[in-house]
Every structure is written in C-alpha cells, then in structure tokens.
Structure 1
Amino acid sequence: MKTDFKFSNLLGTVYCQGNLLFSPDGTHLYSPVGNRVTVFNLVENKSHTLPFAHRKNISRIGLTPRGNLLLSVDEDGHAILTNVLRRVSIYHFSFRSQVTALAFSPSGRHFAVGLGRKTEVWHVPSTPDNNAEGVLDFAPFFRHHAHAGHFDDVRHIEWSTDSRFFLTASKDLTVRIWSLNPEEGFQPTVLSGHKQGVVGAWFSQDQETIYTVSKDGAVFMWKYVKPKNQEDDAMDEDDDEADMRWRIVERHYFMQGSSHVRCAAFHPDSNLLVAGFSDGIFGLYEMPDFNNIHKLSISQNDIDFVTINKSGEWLAFGASKLGQLLVWEWQSESYILKQQGHFDSMNSLVYSPDGRRIITTADDGKIKVWDVESGFCIVTFTEHTSGVTACEFAKKGNVLFTASLDGSIRAWDLIRYRNFRTFTAPTRLSFSCMAVDPSGEVVAAGSLDSFDVHIWSVQTGQLLDQLAGHEGPVSALAFAPDGTSLISGSWDRTARVWSIFSRTQTSEPLQLQADVLDIAVRPDSLQIAVSTLDGQLTFWSMSEGEQVAGLDGRRDVSGGRKFSDRRTAANTTGTKAFHTIRYSADGSCLLAGGNSKYICLYSVTTMVMLKKFTVSVNLSLSGTQEFLNSKLLTEAGPTGELDSQGEESDRENRRDDSLPGSKRGDPSARKKLPAVRVTGLGFSPAGTAFCAASTEGLLIYSLDQTVQFDPFDLNMEITPASTLAVLENEKDYLKALVMGFRLNEAGLIRRVFQAVPPTAVGLVVADMPTVYVPRLLRFVAAQTEESPHIEFCLLWIRALVDKHGGWLSANRARIDVELRVVSRAVARMRDEIRRLADENVYMVDYLLGQAEKDSSRKSTGARRVVDGDSGEMAGNMLVEMNGDAVSDASDDDEWLGLE
C-alpha cells in the first residue's frame, strides 16, 4: 500500500475570524479558516484550501488587484506571501506587532497595514509579470514610510482610486487622511465628530465625498467645502481657499435600537453601503440619499465582516461564533453560498460507499453531509436533540445510521434525505457506540449507562435482543465484514466476539490489560485490532481467539504539551492513547489517532510505524507545542487560561450573555484555547485518501496522483516528437505507447491511447511488457472515469483481464487501488447505460403512440416530425435524457459504439 499521503483539503470549517476577500473578477472568495486560507469558487461551486499553514490563527488577509499575490497575517504579525495561481508560499515576514488592518493600493505597488496605533506603507514585491526586468527582489518587503497619529487601534484602511491618498479609521473616534507621497499643499487631515469608534471610511467614486460609519450607527458624509455660515463676499480668493476644509455635510443614523454596527462596506461604483449589526441583521442602503433598499436577518449572532465584490452584485458575510459564511445576491434576493460548520467538536465520521461524500457528527446534535469534490456541506440533519456520538453506513445502498446521547438510533435515507426509522431502548439510555450488519438488516448499539448490547431489526424497528455479558459500560462495537460476528469492547477490560446469527448466541471474551477505547476489524474478517487506555494496540485472530501481535503506541501518540500540563510532553505518555483506529482498504495498514497532534500509520504485517502525520502546527490550540514559553506563566497560572473578559475595552465584550451554569448557552465557549485532538478517522473506499476529524475541522489527506513528469527508463532518443513520428508514420502503436509511458506525459499518452484502432487493442495489450501493465491499468482506470469513449475503454479493460489475468491476480496487493477504480467505473457505466436505454424506450413508445393517434395524417405527420421543429425537439429531448455519456462525447464518435 502507498503511504505518501499529503494534506489536500480542509472541510468542516468555512470561517473563523478576520476579513473576507473577493477575487478581482468576483468569482472566488477567500476566507481565513484557523491558520489556513480556503478559496471558494462561487461559479463552479468548489472549494480548496491553500497548502501553507501559519503558526497562529490568521487575523488579516490581503489580495493584490491582479489577484496573483495573497498576503496573510496571523495574530502575532507573521505574514506569508503566496502565489495564488501556483499555490506556493513565496516569502515569510514578520511585522513584529499585531496587524489590525490591511489593504493593497489599486495600483498594486503598495499596501498599508495598521499595527495598533501606527500605520505603515510597504512596497509590494515585484513579480515577473509586473517587473520590466523580470527579476524578483532580493528583499521583497521594504517599508515606504510610517505614520503615527491615532490614539487607539486602526480598524480599517481604504485607498483612493488613484492610489495617492488613503484613509485610516480608528477606535479613537477619528478618521485620518494620508498621502502616499508628499503632495503640494496637502497636510494630513483629521476627521472627528463621531461619538464611538469608527468602523469604516470610504471615498466616493469621484473622490469628492468621504463616508464614515461609527459603531453607534452614525453615517457621516464629508465634503471639502466652506462653512455654511460664510456669507462675507468681500473675502479675496486666498481667504476662501484658506477656509476650505473637510466638513460634515449630512448625518444619517441606522436606528437599530440596542444593537450596534459590527462591520460595514461601501461600493463606490454603485453607491451601495452595507452594514452588519450585532443582532445578526444587515442593511443595504443607497448613498448619498441613505435610501434603505432592504434589511435581512441572516445569523443568530454578530456579523463580524462584510465585503462586496467588484461588480457590486454579491455580498459576503462572515459570522465567527457559529462559523457561518454567506454570499448574498441582493438584486435577486437569493443565496449564492450558505455554509456553516459544526460549532461543537466532531465525534465521528464515515465515508459513503462510493467515496464521494463524508458524513460527520458532532456534539451540537447535527449530522452534516460533505461533498468531497466540491468541499461543501450539501445537507444537514437536525432531528437529534443531543450530541451524536457515532455514524455508520450500510454496506449496500444509501442508508446511514447514527447514534445519539438522546437515546435514539436513527436511520437516514440519503437519496430523499429523510429519517425513515428510529430505534429506542426500553429504558432511557445514552448511546455511545454503534455497528451495522454488512447486509444492513441488523443494527447494534452500546451505552455507557448499561452493560448490555442492544440489537434491533432495521426492517421492523423492533428490539431483537439484549446481549448481556460485559461487566462495564460498552465503549466500542464492530461487525465483521463477512457478517458472521459482532465484536464489542468494554471498560471491563475485555472484548467479546458474539455469534448473534447462530442458534446459540455464544460470546468469547478476549482479556486485555486496560479499558477498551476502540475496535477495528480487518476487511478480510481474519483479524481484530483493539486500542486500550494504556496506549497499547493488540491484534487478535478471529478464528483462534488468540493474540497474534501487539504494539506499544504511547511513545508514538505522545507529543504536545497543553497550557495546563504540569509535566513536559515527553513525560505525559501515560495519559495518551489511541481513541480511534481504522484499517486501510486492503487491510495492510492501520491508522490510529487520539487526544494528540499526531496520526500514526502502522504496518500490520511488520508492526512498524510507517508514517506519522502532524494534524496541526497552530499555536492558538492547546497541545501543539513541545515546550511552553516560561514568560507566559504567571503566579495565577498560564496566561492562556486567565479570564480577561472583564478587562475588555468594549462594553459589549465585557458583558457575559451565557446562562448561569449552562455550558451550551454560548456556542463559542469551546473556542477558548481548544485542545488539538483527533476524534474520528476514515479511509476512502478506494484507499487513495483518508479523512481525520480534528479540532480545526475535517482534514483530507490524499495520494498525490498529479505528477506531471516522472520519466521511466528514459534515453536520449525518446522525445514527444519521436513518439508522434512512430505513431503517425510507422503506425507502431505498441512502441509509441511504451515511449509515452517512459516520458509519462498525460497529454501524450492520451493521444497515443486514442489513436489505437479498436481492432488492434488486443494485440497491443498482449505484447505489452509486464513492467508497464500497472501503468497502463492505472491510465485506463482514469480514462474510464473521464473519457466519453465507453466501449473503447471497456475493450482495453477486457483485453487487460484476458491477456494479463494471471499476473493481475498474482499481484493484486500492488494494484488493488487501480482495480477498485476500474470496478467502480464499470459499475457506473452499466447503471448509466441501463438508465439511458430505459428512458429511450419510453421516449420511443411515446413518439410511436403520438404518431398512431391520427392515422389519416400519418405520412404528413411523419414528414413533419422528421423535417420540422418537432423532430428537432424530440431529438433534443433524447439527447438531454441520455445524460453525460452523450453530452460529453467528442468528435470521435466511432469509439462510442452505442449504435
């Protein structure tokens, strides 16, 4: 099995804190998620996470006007400059202070940052596309100049359209106007008059007006005018010019009662002002008349940030307490994007049988279904009234089972997205673990309140049996993949194998040294892996009931010291163990994770740790550091655990709105220095990726299969030109295909592959050297998923099985992933062709029935159907109902073979 898994995407969390950014074309939205940045493609409905990671949570991000460079800054002022197109971090830099505001100039040559009370202007690093010499700077960041004039933190920076001036809005109730370079006759100007901190300030389109919005809901319009009471016409022109300055010409107020303004944004081209309030309402206003276009409540908590795309059509809102991210099209009053992650810690996850979806459960009582390809949550179930502790799929079909602390087991139909069956026990129990029979007919659950294992029938919903035998709470359950046995683990330091389908329900106890945390059964049903509280992994034979191997994982899982730990990370191994374990798809490896920042991958045959994955390097989480900083320790304890809420400068931040004695009153309470841990693991059915439910979200690790150039047995004579010459001139398809595999260029291999005549496929495959068979199988497997040439790909698959069947069966372990992809693609083709044939039969019957209704005009009607619009319409209906297999077809129709 391949073990070169790398981080590929982050799901489950869409927004944490900081500002949101639209790309220059308005099609992508950049959102800070913890210490990473996620990019949402709003047109293609996809998302991806940039590969870099900060040392702490990101507080501000900025994007150049060209959209090619992204500057992200964390809470400590450490910045990373990233090439957005290549997704590569270019440069690391530290501002040595907390950054409170960040904005790039429209010219793209400078950017301004607010460092507390100071404001600094820096040069943007040059890149080959905007540098005439095409040479990168040796020192990409150097400061242009700095300004100090505010008495409190700078919260917002806005540039003029010509990049000559910029505004800084501060909590000290003022807005200041600065110039990028010294301007003749210009002096830095202070705009004062607000009674609370200024949220934002913006120039109008013609730069003749400045709009400022304060926290108390006041909107001031400023213009460079004379005083209103100036009526002395005898003044000369010099005095008139001397008396001209920025003055308030109009005052408006939002009038939102007790709520205050949390954020605001202004779009100069359309004169639209958007304000987000602390009660979850946002208002859209047209300036300068301050006409209210509409108001809408989109969240239950504060709206932390709002931004507008370049065209002024889409508004993006971020609410950090509930982790909400919304994109609203105000003209049509519809959502473009509406996403929310879990606001409590996740408990478990499971892949769907086709590997396209991931289901997560959490303590907030919600079940979310995530699409792996797009990265979006497509449906959320909220029927459970308490935390959901376990989830499991039936092996066949689209049926999901979940167990909850509310005392119910629920079955979900993931085609119609509904709960169709609920299982309960005779007494009120809080279920902590669950297992589903491979046939999907029996579901079992265990509880920490009872020592029995409850078993229900899925068809009838009735309780079939209660298995008694454990002397402690049941903590883990698992069915053998062959469906013959049920394995249960308990805190009584035993694991039991139950033969529940035999006449005599016998249980065989397996004695362990500590409490059982989790159980995994190998896919071939021959081995059981048990994780215990003392950090041990023990492997047992299913048939013999004997322990065959063991691993001491305490040293591997230990690492990371929490803020409250009195001992070092190396000496806390006694408290670390694997809380979740999973076998790989081929059963050769075991993946294990727990209350640690590490995920370990072990080989089952050699009992050696193959790889260790670090979940997070975010220092904002507890448990990611090996050594604590002694300056953060005080007489009252670690500074991270001190409650500083009563010392906040803002009144609403000092106020405690949580219910007395209730931990669920404030959903954001868990975000106070959460500890890094892994609560769930799952391998994809194809074995090409695995997913981990962690404190930061849903981490996807996958094999990198997009290698552009990986030559194999290459020499000087093999070039793309020589390969095409062999293909077109000599018509030697086998030689051209081998040369293409040696170069390993996907485009070249595809061209040679499609040039092989269908009649020559068998001969080419028969003479293919064995060393290239895995590569050919991998390529054909990919083509079956992507190419519209259905019959052509099936010819290659049949030829490979016929000619190299013995070699494939002997080396199945090496090519197990490719065989799974081929099997899945063939099954998908079969289902699509069956559906297409059924729909065409119904359509033909309908057309024939319509033609037979009027036999007197049969000939003219037939001619009209063939020659007129009705025939074109019917043909279009046929094509539309045929699905992707026909709509994606290329010009090479002779390879389709669907005559």
Structure 2
Amino acid sequence: MKTDFKFSNLLGTVYCQGNLLFSPDGTHLYSPVGNRVTVFNLVDNKSYTLPFAHRKNISRIGLTPQGNLLLSVDEDGQAILTNVPRRVVLYHFSFKSAVTALSFSPSGRYFVAGLGRKIEVWHVPSTPDSNVEGDLEFAPFVRHHTHTQHFDDVRHIEWSSDSRFFLSASKDLTARIWSLNPEEGFTPTVLSGHRQGVVGAWFSKDQETIYTVSKDGAVFDWKYTTKPGMDEDEMVDDSDMRWRIVNRHYFMQNSATLRCAAFHAESNLLVAGFSNGIFGLYEMPDFNMIHTLSISQNEIDFVTINKSGEWLAFGASKLGQLLVWEWQSESYILKQQGHFDAMNALVYSPDGQRIVTAADDGKIKVWDIESGFCIVTFTEHTSGVTACEFAKKGNVLFTASLDGSVRAWDLIRYRNFRTFTAPERLSFSCMAVDPSGEVVAAGSIDSFDIHIWSVQTGQLLDRLSGHEGPVSSLAFAPNGGLLVSGSWDRTARIWSIFNRTQTSEPLQLQSDVLDIAFRPDSSQIAISTLDGQLSFWSVSEAQQISGVDGRRDVSGGRRITDRRTAANVAGTKSFNTIRYSTDGSCLLAGGNSKYICLYSVTTMVLLKKFTVSVNLSLSGTQEFLNSKLLTEAGPAGLLDEQGEASDLEDRIDRSLPGSKRGDPSARRRTPEVRVTGVAFSPSGSAFCAASTEGLLIYSLDSTVQFDPFDLNMEITPASTLAVLEREKDYLKALVMAFRLNEAGLIQRVFQAIPYTDIGLVVEQFPTVYVARLLRYVAAQTEQSPHVEFCLLWIKALVDKHGAWLTANRGKVDVELRVVARAVSKMRDEIRRLADENMYMVDYLLGQASGKKTASSDTKALGWRDEEGSPMKALPSSNKGLSLDDLIQQDIAEDQEEWIGLE
C-alpha cells in the first residue's frame, strides 16, 4: 500500500478571523482559515486550501490587482508571498510587528501595511508575469517610506483609483490622506470630527468626495471646499480651501455598534455590518437605504464587495460563518458554516464521495469531498453527537448522542426516519451498525449494558450485560457475525448476538479500552488502551497475536499548562481513535497530540507520522515552551488581557468558566491540538482526520501544478513545440511535455498527435511515464469532446503496456481506477444520448420518407445549387441513386449533427 499521503484540503472550517478578499474577476473568494487560506470558487461551486501553513493564525491577507500574488500575514507579522495560479510559496518575510491593515495599490506597484499606529509603504515584488513596468529587484521586499503620525492602531487603508493617494482610518478617531510620492501643493491631511474610532474611509469614483464611517454609526461626507457661506471670489489664498464635512448621516441600529463597512465606488454602494448580526446596504451620497438583513446571531466581523458590485461577502468568526449575498436578486451565492464546537466523530460514505462529521454542538454535517462544501446539516439532536456510522448498503446514516437517542437518517430525502431510545435516560457514547443494516447497538458511560435495537421496527431487542465499567467502544465484524465491545473495566468482549445462546468471550487487557477497530476481512481486531498500547487479537482464537507500544510515537507537543516536557506528560500517551486501511495492511491512529501515526499491521513498524498542525496559536504544537512567555503569574497565554481591552464588547467575557474546548473558530482560549476521529476512504487513496483545525484530508492523488521531472537546460516549451511542429517527432515532444509537466503544453502536444500514430507513440513510450500518461488520458476522457481519440489512447496503452500494468498493479491502482471511472462515465453518457435521440431519428426518417415524390425531376423537387439557380442534373457522384438512397445518404451524413443538437 502507498503511504505518501499529502495534505490536500481542509473542510469543516470556512472562516476564522481577518479579512476576506475577492479575486479581480470576482469569481473566487479568499478566506483565512486558522493558519491557512481557503479559496472558494463561487462559479464552479468548489473550494480548495492553499498548501502553505503559517506558524500562527492569519490576521490579514492581500491580493494584487492582477490576482497572481497573495500576501498573507499572521498575528506576529510573519508574511508569506504566494504565487496563486501555481500555488507555490515565493518568499517568507517578517514585518517585525502585528499587521492591522493591508492594501495593494490599483497599479500593482505598491502595497501599504498598517503596523499598529505606523504605516509602511512597500514595493510589490516583481514577477515575470505581473505585467508591471520596471526591472526585477534583487531584494523581494523594498520599503518605499514610513508614516508615524497616527496615535492608535490603523484599522483600514484605501487607495485612490490612480494610485497616487491613499486613506488611512485609525482608532484615534481620525482618518488621514497621504500621497504615495511628494505631490506639488499637497500636504498630508487629517480628517477629524468622529467621536469614536474610524472603521473605514473611501474615495468616491471622481475622487472629489471622501466617505468616513466610525464605530458609533456615523457617516461623514468630506469635500475639498471653502468655508460655508464663502464664495470663491472672496478667497484670499489656497489656505481657505480644505477638506470639510458637508453631510452627516447616522445608522440607526439601537444599541448595536458598527463592526465593519465597505464601499463600492463604481456604484456608490455602502455596506455596513453591525454587532447584532444585521447588515445594511445604502446608496451614497444621499444615504438611501436599499435593504437590511439579519444574517447571523453574532456580530459580523468583516464585509467586502466584489469588483462588479453585485456580490457582498460577510465573515462572522464567532460562529465560523461565511456568506456571499447577491443584493440585486436578494439571494445567497454561498452560505457555509463550520461546527461551532469540537468534532467528535467522522465517517466516509460507502461511495467515498462524502464525509459526515458529528460534533459537540449537536449538529451533523455532510461534506462533499469534490466541492469541499457542506451540503446538508441535521439539527435534530439536542446535545453533543458522539458517534456516526453508515450502513454498508444504501444511504442510511446512524448517529448516537448524549441526548439519549440513536437516530437513523435517510441521505436521499435528508430526513430522520427512525429514533431509538432506551427505557431509562442514558447518554450514548459509542455505537455500531450491523453490515446488513438490520441491527444497531449503542453503549453508554452511564450504564454498563449494551443496548440493541431493530432498525425495521425501532424496538429494543436486547440488553447485553457483562461489563463491569462504562462501555467506551463498539464494532461489528464486516461479515456481520460478531460484535466486539470495549470497556473501562480493562476488558473487551466478543458477542455472538445472532446465536441462540448470545455468549461472550472476554479479552483481558492491561488498561482501559479507548477504541476498537475490525480488520476488513473480519479475522483480526485492533484495540487501543489508555496506557498507549495497540494490541492485535485473532477473532477466531480470541488470543493476542502482537502488539505495539505507541506511547513514544503519539506523545508530542507540550501544552501551555504542562509542567513537564512533552516526553514526560502522561495525558497525551494514548490513541483515542484507530482505523484499518481498506486492504487491512495498515492501521491509522490518532489521539490528543499533534501526530497521526500509520503502522504496518504485519511488521508492527511505524511507517509514517503526519503532523496535524504547526499552528502556535494552538496549545500542544511546541515540543519546548518559550521561556520568554513564562512569567511570574504563569504562562503568558493564560493571562487574562481581555479586561484591559479598550472597547466594551471586547471586555465582556462570554466564555464558560473552566472550559477547555471552546469554540474552534474563535480561538480565544488557546484550544488544544488533538485528533478526535480518523477514517480511510473506501478506495484507500485518501484518509481524513477530525482535528481542532477542522477536517483535514490527506490524499495520494493530489494534482500539483508544477512538478519538473528529469529536466535539463534544453527542455523548454519553445523547444518542445519546435520538435512537435517542425521535426514531427511526436514521441519526443510528448516526453518533453511530460518532463515540463505544464498542463497547457501537454494538452497541445497530446491533441496534435495524429490518431494513426497513437499506437506507434505508445509502444515506444518510456514506462516511467506510463502511469502519468494513463492518468492524463483518463482526465481528458472525462473532459474532452474527442471521445474516439481518447478511447484509442486507452486501448493502445492497455495493448502495448498491459504486461507492465499487470506487474505494477499496486503502483497504478489509482490510475486504473480513474480510467475505469472515465470509460464507464462515457459509456453512460453515450447510452443516455442515444436513448434521448432515438425518437428524433425515427421522426426524421419518417418525415423524409413521407415527403418522397414520384417525380425525379430536380426542378419539381426544388433542388438548387449554391448560387440559388435550379440544378439541371444530379451531381456526378450521386448518379444512379434513387431518391430513397439520396435521402438515406443525407440523413446518414447529418446524423452526427442531429445528435449534437440534443
């Protein structure tokens, strides 16, 4: 089995803190998710997470007007510059202090960063594809100049459309106008008059008006004019001209304060988000209210508008909400929300296309893997959901909750069709479903019995007693014969619940049982215990076969409150969740640490350790604590600085006393990094883990944008095209294209190869590239309209390299699976197309035969040539054909067009 899994996507969390950005074309939305950035494609309804990760949560992101460079800055001022189209990190840079505002100029030449009360203007690092005049700099970041006139944190920076001036809005109750370079007759100007901190400041489209918005809901219009009542003729000099307030407007939202605002100069739209979860849309300069809408139960943290002014994006960090609203049609383009509390369990659907997560907030969410979006949320449970599992056949999901119920869900109609309860009030902590879907079992921490229900009737069938402690884990054998239960009484029991005697076989262990997993062939079980041991047992003989001491593997990361190093802390030295791989050769294990371990079942060797997070904003990601952060009053991360905040709503503490889990989207109480659930996909090509960061997906077949292979100086796109077009050496051109691994170049070479030469090219194609060619052809089969061309490639590959593919089946199993899926998809589409067009063809044949006339005179038939004159005789190629033959021939020639019309 392949073990080179790599991080591919992050689901379960859509927004944490910081600002949101639209791409220049307005089709993509960039959202900071913890220490990563997720990109939402709003047109194709997909999302992906950029591969880089910061060492702390991201506070600000900025995008160049060309959309090719993304600058993300974390809470400590550490910045990463990323090439967005290629998803490659270009530079790491430190601003030395926290960045509170960030904005790129419309020209793409400069960007401004607000560092507390200081403003710095920097040159944008040049790239060959940035389309900006000027030579490449030797240093990636060059400071242009610095301003230090503000007295408090700068909260917002906005550029003028010509990139000559920019506005800064600060908490010191003022906004200021700056010039990029010294301008004749211009001096930096202070716009003062607000009574609370200024949230935003913007230029109008003609740059004759400036709008400023403050936290108390005041909107001021500023114009460069004389004193009120003074005519231009009365002016003595230019000193009488200055920026003055010409209008004052106020948002009326009772006691709610303004949290964020955005202005679209092209359409004069002003959007404001308030602390009560309401946003308002206003037309300037008349301040006409277009509409208001309540979109959240908590405050809105950030709002932005796309370039066309049609879509508004909102982020609410308290509940982890991300919304995109089209104001003209008053409809949601995107409405996503992660779990409010920690995830407890996850499971793949049988087809591997979806992941179901259950959390302490009582919600069950179904995530689509391909798009990355949550497609449905179930809220029927009234308390934390602790377990979820699919029936092996059908689309039936079972969940167990602390509210004392086990529920069955229909994932076709998205409804709860059965609820199972016990005679007395219990909080169910674990659950298992028989593969046939006829029986469901659940265990509780309150009771030592295992409850079993019939899915058909919903009746309680039996209560299995025998454990002397709370039941912590349940698992049915994949073949449906046995049920295994684990308990805190240091035993695991094998139950034959379908036999008349219902006997149980106890397995004695050295510590409390945390989790149990069945191997897919039902012959072996793995048991994780509190002392960090993984033991493997034979089901038929009820004897231990082998074991692994995982304490050293799983221990990692020192919490803020730990007095000992990570190697000596007892609380992290166990696996809370374990799962077998699809082929049963490996075991995946995770616990209360930053590591996920992958073990070989046969050799008992640790194959790989995956680091869940390097985010220092989480507790438990460091091996050693920083002595600089240890004070006499305790760790600096635990000191309550909230009461010293300047704003009232920031001083209010709404957290539960003693809460250690907290809200994973707010990140206020330094949540601990941990893994609460792991699962392999049914195909074995990916696995997912429910962690504090969110739902992490690691996969084998993640496509990278650029992965050069066997490159040398002679191989360039230009030389590849020269070999293709001048020398007509198709084999060499294809190999060179695969070495460069540029998608556009490969497609051009691939489609330029004549179909008559496909067999010859494939026969001489090096075997080292066969797997990549197979995958590429499969992808083209799903996307390209050239059906027969792609099928000829697949046939040639199987014919010429069949022996190699058979011998290396383990290496190319993913590629072969993709090919099989593409061929079956094409077959289904062609069958559907033929079925839909069958009656159309019959109708056309009937119409043609009905209009047949006895006369063979071309004038009577009305046939005309290209110039419109009647044809004297039939074309020479058609001489000797009857009218029936001609009609049939025309229909045969045009049949492809008729099918294409459908």
Is the TM value for this pair above 0.5?
yes
**Gapped regions of structure 1 (runs ≥ 5):** 862-890
Note the C-alpha offset of 1:340: 0.7
- 1:883 aligned partner: none
Measured in 1, the distance between the counterparts of 2:721 and 2:245 equals 71
1:480 is aligned, of 469, 473, 477, to: 477
- 2:56 aligned partner: 56
What letter corresponds to residue 120 of structure 1 in structure 2?
Answer: E
- 2:298 aligned partner: 301
Note the C-alpha offset of 1:644: 2.2
1:591 is aligned, of 588, 591, 595, to: 588
Note the C-alpha offset of 1:755: 3.1
Contact 1:686 1:821 (8 Å CA) reproduced: no
Distance change (3 Å), C-alpha of 1:774 and 1:657? closer
What letter corresponds to residue 45 of structure 2 in structure 1?
Answer: N
Note the C-alpha offset of 1:748: 8.5
Distance change (3 Å), C-alpha of 1:163 and 1:807? closer
Distance change (3 Å), C-alpha of 1:296 and 1:709? closer
1:470 is aligned, of 460, 467, 470, to: 467
- 2:859 aligned partner: none
- 1:84 aligned partner: 84
The answer to whether 1:149 aligns with 2:146 is no
SS at match of 2:628: helix
- 1:866 aligned partner: none
SS at match of 1:99: coil
- 1:342 aligned partner: 339
- 1:255 aligned partner: 252
- 1:561 aligned partner: 558
SS at match of 2:137: coil
- 1:179 aligned partner: 179
What letter corresponds to residue 455 of structure 1 in structure 2?
Answer: I
Contact 1:554 1:573 (8 Å CA) reproduced: no
Contact 1:70 1:81 (8 Å CA) reproduced: yes
- 2:413 aligned partner: 416
The answer to whether 1:515 aligns with 2:486 is no
Measured in 2, the distance between the counterparts of 1:90 and 1:308 equals 28
Note the C-alpha offset of 1:452: 1.7
Contact 2:340 2:663 (8 Å CA) reproduced: no
Per-residue CA deviation, residues 152-211 of structure 1 (Å, 9 max, x unaligned), is 111111111121111111111111111111222222111111111111111111111111
Measured in 2, the distance between the counterparts of 1:128 and 1:109 equals 13
What letter corresponds to residue 504 of structure 1 in structure 2?
Answer: T
Measured in 2, the distance between the counterparts of 1:527 and 1:7 equals 30
What letter corresponds to residue 426 of structure 1 in structure 2?
Answer: P
Moved more, 94-103 or 240-249: 240-249
Measured in 1, the distance between the counterparts of 2:77 and 2:294 equals 34
Measured in 1, the distance between the counterparts of 2:56 and 2:578 equals 29
Q: In the TM superposition, what are the counterparts of 1:36-185 in structure 2 within 5 Å?
A: 36-130=36-130, 136-185=136-185
Note the C-alpha offset of 1:631: 2.1
The answer to whether 1:504 aligns with 2:501 is yes
- 1:607 aligned partner: 604
Per-residue CA deviation, residues 587-640 of structure 1 (Å, 9 max, x unaligned), is 111111111111111111111111111111110000001111112122222121
RMSD: 4.1
Moved more, 253-262 or 105-114: 105-114
- 1:203 aligned partner: 203
- 1:273 aligned partner: 270
Measured in 1, the distance between the counterparts of 2:738 and 2:260 equals 56
Moved more, 305-314 or 422-431: 422-431
Note the C-alpha offset of 1:709: 7.0
Distance change (3 Å), C-alpha of 1:405 and 1:752? farther
- 2:888 aligned partner: none
Measured in 2, the distance between the counterparts of 1:529 and 1:555 equals 19
Contact 2:320 2:665 (8 Å CA) reproduced: no
The answer to whether 1:493 aligns with 2:523 is no
- 1:20 aligned partner: 20
The answer to whether 1:397 aligns with 2:394 is yes
SS at match of 2:372: coil
Measured in 2, the distance between the counterparts of 1:444 and 1:263 equals 50
Moved more, 610-619 or 574-583: 574-583
SS at match of 2:18: coil
Moved more, 633-642 or 498-507: 498-507
Moved more, 738-747 or 333-342: 738-747
Tell me the TM-score normalized by structure 2: 0.85
Measured in 2, the distance between the counterparts of 1:124 and 1:774 equals 40
Contact 1:322 1:667 (8 Å CA) reproduced: no
What letter corresponds to residue 73 of structure 1 in structure 2?
Answer: V
- 1:6 aligned partner: 6
Measured in 2, the distance between the counterparts of 1:93 and 1:313 equals 35
Measured in 1, the distance between the counterparts of 2:602 and 2:232 equals 98
Contact 2:685 2:699 (8 Å CA) reproduced: yes
Measured in 1, the distance between the counterparts of 2:440 and 2:421 equals 11
- 1:425 aligned partner: 422
Contact 2:536 2:546 (8 Å CA) reproduced: yes
Moved more, 770-779 or 583-592: 770-779
Note the C-alpha offset of 1:656: 3.6
SS at match of 1:646: helix
- 2:455 aligned partner: 458
What letter corresponds to residue 259 of structure 1 in structure 2?
Answer: A
Distance change (3 Å), C-alpha of 1:325 and 1:348? same
Moved more, 684-693 or 290-299: 684-693
Contact 1:557 1:594 (8 Å CA) reproduced: yes
Note the C-alpha offset of 1:129: 3.0
Contact 1:176 1:189 (8 Å CA) reproduced: yes
Tell me the TM-score normalized by structure 1: 0.86
2:443 is aligned, of 438, 442, 446, to: 446
Note the C-alpha offset of 1:461: 1.8
Measured in 1, the distance between the counterparts of 2:312 and 2:380 equals 31
Note the C-alpha offset of 1:645: 2.1
Contact 1:70 1:84 (8 Å CA) reproduced: yes
Q: In the TM superposition, what are the counterparts of 1:629-640 in structure 2 within 5 Å?
A: 629-640=626-637
Note the C-alpha offset of 1:506: 2.1
- 1:219 aligned partner: 219
Distance change (3 Å), C-alpha of 1:817 and 1:88? closer
SS at match of 1:653: helix
2:644 is aligned, of 647, 662, 665, to: 647
Distance change (3 Å), C-alpha of 1:803 and 1:141? closer
Distance change (3 Å), C-alpha of 1:721 and 1:655? closer
What letter corresponds to residue 83 of structure 1 in structure 2?
Answer: N
What letter corresponds to residue 262 of structure 2 in structure 1?
Answer: A
Measured in 2, the distance between the counterparts of 1:696 and 1:810 equals 41
Moved more, 409-418 or 74-83: 409-418
Note the C-alpha offset of 1:775: 7.3
Contact 1:157 1:166 (8 Å CA) reproduced: yes
Percent identical pairs in the alignment equals 79
Per-residue CA deviation, residues 818-861 of structure 1 (Å, 9 max, x unaligned), is 565566567767776777787778x789x99x999xx9xx9689
Note the C-alpha offset of 1:86: 1.1
**Gapped regions of structure 2 (runs ≥ 5):** 853-893
Measured in 2, the distance between the counterparts of 1:240 and 1:611 equals 76
Distance change (3 Å), C-alpha of 1:675 and 1:659? closer
Contact 2:320 2:666 (8 Å CA) reproduced: no
- 1:872 aligned partner: none
Measured in 1, the distance between the counterparts of 2:80 and 2:680 equals 32
Task: Give the number of equivalent residue pairs.
Answer: 853
Distance change (3 Å), C-alpha of 1:607 and 1:795? farther
Note the C-alpha offset of 1:135: 5.9
SS at match of 2:553: helix
Measured in 1, the distance between the counterparts of 2:736 and 2:203 equals 61
Measured in 2, the distance between the counterparts of 1:779 and 1:308 equals 38
Measured in 1, the distance between the counterparts of 2:165 and 2:794 equals 66
SS at match of 1:464: strand
Contact 2:16 2:665 (8 Å CA) reproduced: no
- 2:243 aligned partner: 246
Note the C-alpha offset of 1:121: 1.0
What letter corresponds to residue 452 of structure 1 in structure 2?
Answer: D
Distance change (3 Å), C-alpha of 1:778 and 1:86? closer
